[in-house]
Structure 1
């Protein structure tokens, strides 16, 4: 009886010993691999899916150890082989890719110093492999916020001593100055068990300006007398410009009374006299960069739309020979460009306005107009681009623009809120859109009666605000202030038309 109990106890002890031995390969593999994993994380070298797949082999063998202790030796050999292979592969990757400094990998970037908002610009990365190993993996450029790239990632397969070139099209969705500081590489080891992430410093600065394609479009349409295609109307001048400018070839839209017959006979080609308009007049833009300009339309802020329209009007004015200046302000004056003429002034205006953004602060109109009065004594067309949403703000705008009459010719550009007009003109559609945009937990499921009530109240509130806004515009006009009332995305043509109207009527 005692013999049977001892034999049973011995078998139980042997089973526990075998169970512990079955776990020994796993414990051994973990203990030996732990330093390697720590080194890998410190050096930004990470195991791949293939490395994880290799672990399936010792898992299967360890399961077999439970049924047959003979598999214990096989598990130990497999663990040792995996450890040796992964260590060698890691060492090859680390040494072959240049060690900690990655001195054998060189990257340069070729990109323009400036770009336009929303217009793709080309960026070229050149990567040279001066290491002793073949670089396989992928790499990508550093993308600042508000940038997108096509393609975003480039594949990499580069032999030692070779060079590759990758072309991408970067698109900026915001104006301003941006820094491209790095290039990111992901390099695989020779056996694809490890993957190293490398960051290389490649510093470039890119200035993103408003899209100036509209200036080229205007110049082209102006040469062919087709400005009506972009909403700019021909304004009939009071009187006739009599200052001779130059002779040029006749075009179909020229007045036949301007044909110079002597020059035509001498050149044997129809030639007309071109007259220049009054020059040396002054325009000053005052761009509000405060909280009133923070709303967005079509992905751009009100200030973006205002700046685009102002630059277009400045381009037209400079083409007419006028001097243009600009003041950007919010709670302080951020930039001031004195009025000047010439083609170089357009670059100064771009440099002053491209990195101005709307700020969540109250605009100090008093500081802006004090800055104007102290630096601009000569009569000018002062164009204030802003938005009015409350009575306090509107009263300040009306007072300061009205006080300019007599000294300057004030022009108030007030931007419309399209949602407000839609709510007043199509209340049912606007109400349904507002309900659909409201989070589910904030409103109960609307019944037809509640929708009708919501529509009625929303339309009434929008109509009341629009009536108040029209009273503000009427008050400005009665005080001698010119007014442009337009939607932000449709501002350019009305603003240019207003300027041409001022020139035609000689109001300056």
Structure 2
């Protein structure tokens, strides 16, 4: 009996009727003829309430519900959660679903409402977007059922506690894994780059077409055929590609609730997969006060799982990054010339100049690509109309910071260092473009 009382919830309809009757009692004080009618209404309300409770609780089963969760969540993406509900009542019931979501989302008003006919089964789906790697704990599933009378509702609580880990964006990985090897690249903003081999490993002689390197013209074959013929060489393969992630304080800045660090982690997962599919070796490491999370660049079947687990477990206190330690570690452990994709962020030229000697030293022995971020919030702020002197001053400061980003690009290029200045949401696409460009031009 105690269990039944704990699951009874009176509805707003009951309270509206209840307070209406209270109002009638007040009027009955001035008009005594209303007193008898009001007492009858009280009796009717109690009878209908008891009948409503009988409808809801005479069936032990009532509603059946289960929540279907994915094995893991994809960070920064929309993940679909499914709830399956079956009505075992003999009448049509209105249900309200309240799911106990993980505390990371701070959703206190989540609910799904619907009508279910007798014996009807329905599937409800909703999407969630996690923005922090780690464990997400789901609680119980609560279903509130109401009959046609709608005076009370019955709560049924289904034990559905579960933990789902939130991994770096494997949904993004699957998307680019497919489009990077099809003709749909342009649809996603990826450049279609003509790949030209530059090694001495001969592949074939073919007809010259516009864009071929004239240095590869085979004059003997040209004389025999009467048409220009060129030697075609195979691309370099098994080249080390390292993603180097700065996990210092400059990577803490959030855009669309996702930190720059997590944008870099998602991009690392995608570019590593593409590098492996392009027959290169993929590896990674992170750094702040010291170099950590090292995965040696290799090409093997278990490499992606190793990278995924390592990226999932990247932790940081966002302290000041030490680029001198980065240089020492690169010099000590990476002996073969490699492509280093360095994800970091510079807001001012002074910040760059403090680290420039170390970047130049790394670029002497490796192909270094500095990837840093536009401040998209500043750019959107510039499009707002300034109506006061204070707003004009703020827009001037914002323009200065945006212009300084362009100066940083010019400064790096002056020293022969490849750069990518990108909006956080375009990071993955622009990184893939740069990798394909480097492979096509044979820069590594």
* Shorter-chain TM-score above 0.5: yes
Structure 2 gap segments, 5+ residues each = 217-230
Residue of structure 2 equivalent to 1:461: 400
* Contact 1:175–1:355 (8 Å) recurs in 2: no
Residue of structure 1 equivalent to 2:224: none
Q: Give a deviation string over 1:331-374, Cα, whole Å, max 9, x none.
A: 66663333221454334333433576886543354565666566
Question: How far apart, in 1, do the equivalents of 2:284 and 2:402 lie?
Answer: 35
Distance 1:88 1:323, change over 3 A: same
Alignment of 1:174 with 2:128, yes or no, is: no
Q: Secondary structure at the match of 1:286?
A: strand
Structure 1 gap segments, 5+ residues each = 1-35, 245-251, 258-272, 424-428, 436-444
Count residues with an aligned counterpart. 414
Residue of structure 1 equivalent to 2:12: 49
Any residues of structure 2 matched to 1:258-407 within 5 Å, and which?
276-297=234-255, 300-330=258-288, 335-342=293-300, 344-353=302-311, 361-365=319-323, 376-390=334-348, 393-405=351-363
Q: Give a deviation string over 1:395-431, Cα, whole Å, max 9, x none.
A: 45324323334554433223333566x69xxxxx92x
Alignment of 1:413 with 2:389, yes or no, is: no
Residue of structure 2 equivalent to 1:247: none
Q: Give a deviation string over 1:289-339, Cα, whole Å, max 9, x none.
A: 333233455665434543454344323321231111122345666633332
Give the counterpart of 1:484 among 406, 420, 441: 420
Q: Secondary structure at the match of 2:181?
A: helix
Residue of structure 2 equivalent to 1:195: 153
Give the counterpart of 1:433 among 379, 384, 404: 384
Question: How far apart, in 2, do the equivalents of 1:367 and 1:460 lie?
Answer: 34
Question: How far apart, in 1, do the equivalents of 2:361 and 2:263 lie?
Answer: 27
Q: Give a deviation string over 1:118-162, Cα, whole Å, max 9, x none.
A: 7655544333566898754232545445599xx962524364xx4
Q: Give a deviation string over 1:377-399, Cα, whole Å, max 9, x none.
A: 54432221111124664345324
Residue of structure 1 equivalent to 2:226: none
* Contact 1:290–1:363 (8 Å) recurs in 2: yes
Any residues of structure 2 matched to 1:91-110 within 5 Å, and which?
93=56, 95-96=57-58, 98=60, 105-110=63-68
Question: How far apart, in 1, do the equivalents of 2:249 and 2:265 lie?
Answer: 16
Q: Secondary structure at the match of 1:465?
A: helix
Q: Give a deviation string over 1:267-295, Cα, whole Å, max 9, x none.
A: xxxxxx99753333211111123332334
Alignment of 1:138 with 2:100, yes or no, is: no
Bigger-Rg structure (1/2): 1
Any residues of structure 2 matched to 1:225-244 within 5 Å, and which?
230-242=190-202
Residue of structure 1 equivalent to 2:27: 63
Question: How far apart, in 2, do the equivalents of 1:226 and 1:241 lie?
Answer: 30
Question: How far apart, in 1, do the equivalents of 2:153 and 2:329 lie?
Answer: 59
Residue of structure 2 equivalent to 1:499: 435
Question: How far apart, in 2, do the equivalents of 1:502 and 1:472 lie?
Answer: 20
Q: Secondary structure at the match of 2:153?
A: strand
Cα distance, 1:458 vs. partner? 3.6
Question: How far apart, in 2, do the equivalents of 1:471 and 1:67 lie?
Answer: 89
Cα distance, 1:231 vs. partner? 1.8
Any residues of structure 2 matched to 1:69-148 within 5 Å, and which?
72=35, 75-76=38-39, 78-83=41-46, 85-87=48-50, 89-90=52-53, 93=56, 95-96=57-58, 98=60, 105-114=63-72, 116=74, 122-128=80-86, 136-139=94-97, 141-144=99-102
Q: Secondary structure at the match of 2:306?
A: helix
1 or 2 for the larger relative contact order (CA 8 Å, sep ≥6)?
Answer: 2
Residue of structure 2 equivalent to 1:27: none
Residue of structure 2 equivalent to 1:11: none
Give the counterpart of 1:153 among 112, 120, 125: 112
Question: How far apart, in 2, do the equivalents of 1:405 and 1:131 lie?
Answer: 71
Q: Secondary structure at the match of 1:230?
A: coil
